[in-house]
Structure 1
Amino acid sequence: MIPATSFNGRNVALFGLGGSGRATAASLVAGGAVVSAWDDNAEAVAAAQDSGIPVGDLNTADWSAFDALILAPGVPLTHPVPHWTVAKAEQAGVEIVGDIEIFSRERKRSVPMSPFVAITGTNGKSTTTALIGHLLKSASRDTQIGGNIGTPVLMLDPPRVGRYHVIEVSSFQLDLAPGIAPSIGVLLNVTPDHLDRHGTLDLYAAIKERLVAASRIAVVAVDDGITQAVADRLEQSGRRVVRVSTRRTLADGVYVANGTVFEADNGASTEIARLGGVASLRGDHNAQNAAVAVAVAKKFGLSDDEIRQGLATFRGLRHRMEQVGQRGRVIFVNDSKATNADAAAKALASFDRIYWIAGGRAKEGGIESLAGYFPRIAKAYLIGEAADDFAGTLGATVPFEVSGTLSEAIASAASDAALDGAPEAVVLLSPACASYDQFPNFERRGDAFRSAALALDGVRNREEAA
């Protein structure tokens, strides 16, 4: 744990008692803060109290007595409307921050030059975070990995000389971290997402830009117009920028060509690593993740041999293009984390013969943007609330059935894929939807897919099939 000593003796209101909120409360208490924690969910309050977290009803509290409001990232700061605690804090002139800001203050107080890389972007954050962390660990660096990827940042070991912190940072967390100042900041991509929480694409992009603008070195993947403009602005302001591309050769930076990662310096290119054969890094989107990880690793002083070894041993993440099993020529891939069309496009682009399971609670735009990938889809199996809308989009272009439930979709897709004569057929869960209509989160949806796939006769798990 990282005790929040920067709040020692201060009166702190904390709202949001999910996993990160409870972790933050424990950090604040360990650091000597006087905490009043609350949640709109009575069960969450009771559970926090049972675990020893000091609770207090913030509805009736004297807000003039608080020095700060610590807000969990899932609680609206601005859109669609500020949460009621935000309104009370602003009226009382109380600062509003989150767990990433607390981490940043603790690092600044104790070891401000300790290596800290923060990763943001619309898609690919978790894989890139995990890959950077894996490269560092495999090169025997003392490495802590967390943030939005899983382990709350304040539950990691504290900063110290020679200890690397590799932290995934969401736009929600960035909104609450005005003092973030990483050694290396990474911006992967920006596409419309979470606009219900940020209002407009411009505001959402500006929040992402804050991270790299505050970094000593900015690593920016420049394959979309927004990130290209960010890199240009940073360079014009005198910032150190490393550009990354999977679409074009760069004179300076890191790029991917024909499945190979190159580092370019003043027009001269050096081969760093080949991605072919690394199943966990299949697809153009993972080529971007790998190139960014290589760029960060080089800046942290890893050798080319260390980078190649790390890439070759990376197993990937659950629910992100995860090859869970195989039966003959049929591969079962769990991409439950693809909760929007842009994320699903990455998986659809990675395979040629797809039996696609899609649906859930749709986000704005549906799957119209995926039409270019429809020729890769042998058949679609539609589930959840979005099934009828998705069926209308697929129309006569892609054969489909409305399966309704995930279990029915898996059984039907596996049966159809078994009859496919292609060299490789893929039963792919890449829903392009949130899970909330049938599952509490994408992890539970992915776990259900994995269990159902491995329960089929003749399916070997990925370790056995490797």
Structure 2
Amino acid sequence: MIKLTVMAAKKVALFGLGGSGIMTAEALVAGGAEIYAWDDNPDSVARARAKGINCVDLHELNWGKIDSFVLSPGVPLTHPKPHWSVDLARGADVEIIGDVELFCRQRREAQTTAKFIAITGTNGKSTTTALVAHLFRQSGRDVQMGGNIGVPVLALEEPQDGRVYVIECSSYQIDLAPSLDPDVGILLNLSPDHLDRHGSMENYAAIKEQLVAKSVQAVIGVGDQWSAAIAARIENAMLVDVEQYGAMLDLSDAPSLRGAHNMQNALAATAAGRILGLEPEEMMAALKSFPGLAHRMQIIAERGKTKFVNDSKATNADAAEKSLSSFVSIHWIAGGLAKEGGIEPLRPLFGNIVKAYLIGEAAPAFAATLGEDVAYEISATLDVAVKHAAADAAQSSHHEPVVLLAPAAASFDQFSNFEKRGEAFVAAVEKLPLEGKVEGES
């Protein structure tokens, strides 16, 4: 845990007592701050109190004596309307910050040679974060990885000389980190996302720009108009252009980095490595050994000539496009809780699909879109889809058929999250006979 000594003797209000919120509260207390924490969920308050955290309804607080207000990134700051705690803080002219901002302040306070790489983007940021961390670990560096990727940033070890922090930052976290100042800031791409929380694409892009604006060195993908416009404004930007620089990187022996989107991720990661002194040869070796992330174009098994790929994280058409464009002869498992636009944007890739196996609430709508262009069946459930897709793939004449879970839909109709859906896919594949046939078939 990073002790927030930079906040010693400060009076700090905190709202949001999920995993990262409790960790932030503990880091503040360990650093000597006096905190007043709260949450709208009584169970969260009870858990925090059980850990010895001082919990006080923020409505009852004397805000005139509060130095800082720490807000969980999951709580609305601006849209669709500010949370009531935000109104209280603003009414008392108290700064509103988050855990990434606290990390930045503590890193500066520590005055070590620790390096800080921050990664954001609409798509690919988790993979790139894990890949950057992998490159530095393989070179023998002391690496701490966290942030939006799942480990709270303040749960990491404290800054010290030689340490490298690789931190994934969501737009929510960036919005609460006014002094965000990484040694290398990576902005991969931008497309419409979280607009309910930011109001407009312009606001969303402006928040993402903050990550690279104060970076010592910026690395920016220029494959979309929003990112390209930001790159034009940043003087110290290193541009990541797949069309221009993709031929410079050979990923043919890196099975976890298939597709043009992963080429962008790899170019950004190796650019960060070059900036902070990694040698090209050691990075190339590390790219080949990168295992990938669970539920993100993860090759989980092979049955005969058939590959089984878990891309459960592809919860919308834009994300599913990445895996559908990375393979051919695809037996595609899709469906769930449909998002706006459905799978119509994927029509240019229908030629890569041998057959679709549709599950969940979205199945009828997806079937209507596929129409006569792609063979399909409504499998209803994931386990049935896996059995039927595996059986069909085993009979394929193609040299490398692929059974791909890339739902292009949310999981919430049948699973609590995309991780549970991916785990169910893995379990269903593990139950298949080695030859990939449906049990009972001759």
How far 1:142 moved relative to its partner?
1.3
Q: Which residue of 1 aligns with 2:242?
A: 246
Q: Which residue of 1 aligns with 2:204?
A: 204
8 Å Cα contact 2:13/2:37 also seen in 1 = yes
Please point out which of 413, 416, 422 is paired with 1:446: 422
8 Å Cα contact 2:113/2:162 also seen in 1 = no
What secondary structure, in the 3-state scheme, does the structure 1 residue paired with 2:117 have?
strand
How far 1:416 moved relative to its partner?
2.2
Distance in 1, matches of 2:188 and 2:199, equals 21
Please point out which of 339, 361, 375 is paired with 1:399: 375
Q: Which residue of 1 aligns with 2:278?
A: 302
Distance in 2, matches of 1:357 and 1:233, equals 42
The reply to whether residue 331 of structure 1 matches residue 307 of structure 2 is yes
Q: Which residue of 1 aligns with 2:334?
A: 358
8 Å Cα contact 2:331/2:354 also seen in 1 = yes
8 Å Cα contact 2:183/2:215 also seen in 1 = yes
Distance in 1, matches of 2:308 and 2:396, equals 14
Q: Which residue of 2 aligns with 1:82?
A: 82
**TM-score normalised by structure 1 residue count:** 0.90
8 Å Cα contact 1:148/1:167 also seen in 2 = yes
Richer in strand (by share)? 1
8 Å Cα contact 2:333/2:357 also seen in 1 = yes
How far 1:113 moved relative to its partner?
5.2
How far 1:352 moved relative to its partner?
0.3
What secondary structure, in the 3-state scheme, does the structure 1 residue paired with 2:210 have?
helix
What secondary structure, in the 3-state scheme, does the structure 1 residue paired with 2:178 have?
coil
How far 1:358 moved relative to its partner?
1.7
Distance 1:58 1:220, change over 3 A: same
Q: Deviations over 1:195-253 (max 9, x none)?
A: 1111111111111111111101011111112111111111xxxx2111111112xxxxx
Distance in 1, matches of 2:365 and 2:89, equals 42
How do 1:410-425 and structure 2 match up within 5 A? 410-425=386-401
How far 1:14 moved relative to its partner?
1.6
How do 1:222-241 and structure 2 match up within 5 A? 222-234=222-234, 239-241=235-237
How do 1:129-148 and structure 2 match up within 5 A? 129-148=129-148
Distance in 2, matches of 1:48 and 1:429, equals 38
What secondary structure, in the 3-state scheme, does the structure 2 residue paired with 1:379 have?
strand
Q: Which residue of 2 aligns with 1:251?
A: none
The CA RMSD over aligned residues, in Å, is 1.6
- Unaligned ranges ≥5, structure 2: 437-442
The reply to whether residue 378 of structure 1 matches residue 354 of structure 2 is yes
Q: Which residue of 1 aligns with 2:57?
A: 57
**TM-score normalised by structure 2 residue count:** 0.95
Distance in 2, matches of 1:390 and 1:65, equals 56
What secondary structure, in the 3-state scheme, does the structure 2 residue paired with 1:140 have?
coil
How far 1:353 moved relative to its partner?
1.1
How far 1:60 moved relative to its partner?
3.6
Give the letter aligned to residue 201 of structure 1.
M
Distance in 2, matches of 1:43 and 1:204, equals 32
How far 1:459 moved relative to its partner?
7.3
8 Å Cα contact 2:314/2:408 also seen in 1 = yes
Q: Which residue of 2 aligns with 1:389?
A: 365
Q: Point out the more displaced range, 404-413 or 121-130.
A: 404-413
What secondary structure, in the 3-state scheme, does the structure 2 residue paired with 1:130 have?
helix
What secondary structure, in the 3-state scheme, does the structure 2 residue paired with 1:119 have?
strand
Distance in 2, matches of 1:9 and 1:364, equals 48
What secondary structure, in the 3-state scheme, does the structure 2 residue paired with 1:6 have?
helix
Distance in 1, matches of 2:262 and 2:148, equals 19
How far 1:418 moved relative to its partner?
2.0
Distance in 1, matches of 2:314 and 2:79, equals 23
Q: Which residue of 1 aligns with 2:252?
A: 276
Distance in 2, matches of 1:37 and 1:440, equals 28
Give the letter aligned to residue 242 of structure 1.
M
8 Å Cα contact 1:326/1:459 also seen in 2 = no
Q: Deviations over 1:39-97 (max 9, x none)?
A: 22222222222233322222443333322221111111111111121122112222111
8 Å Cα contact 2:112/2:161 also seen in 1 = no
8 Å Cα contact 1:453/1:459 also seen in 2 = no
How far 1:456 moved relative to its partner?
1.4
Q: Which residue of 1 aligns with 2:345?
A: 369
Q: Deviations over 1:386-444 (max 9, x none)?
A: 22322222222222222232222222222222222211111111122222232222212
Distance in 2, matches of 1:441 and 1:225, equals 31
Distance 1:409 1:308, change over 3 A: same
Distance in 2, matches of 1:202 and 1:288, equals 23
Q: Point out the more displaced range, 214-223 or 428-437.
A: 428-437
What secondary structure, in the 3-state scheme, does the structure 2 residue paired with 1:361 have?
coil
- Unaligned ranges ≥5, structure 1: 249-254, 262-273, 461-466
Distance in 2, matches of 1:127 and 1:23, equals 24
Q: Which residue of 2 aligns with 1:256?
A: 246
How far 1:323 moved relative to its partner?
0.7
Please point out which of 285, 288, 293 is paired with 1:317: 293
8 Å Cα contact 2:333/2:407 also seen in 1 = yes
Q: Point out the more displaced range, 441-450 or 55-64.
A: 55-64
State the percentage of identical aligned residues.
Answer: 54
Q: Which residue of 2 aligns with 1:267?
A: none
Distance in 1, matches of 2:435 and 2:75, equals 42
What secondary structure, in the 3-state scheme, does the structure 1 residue paired with 2:25 have?
helix
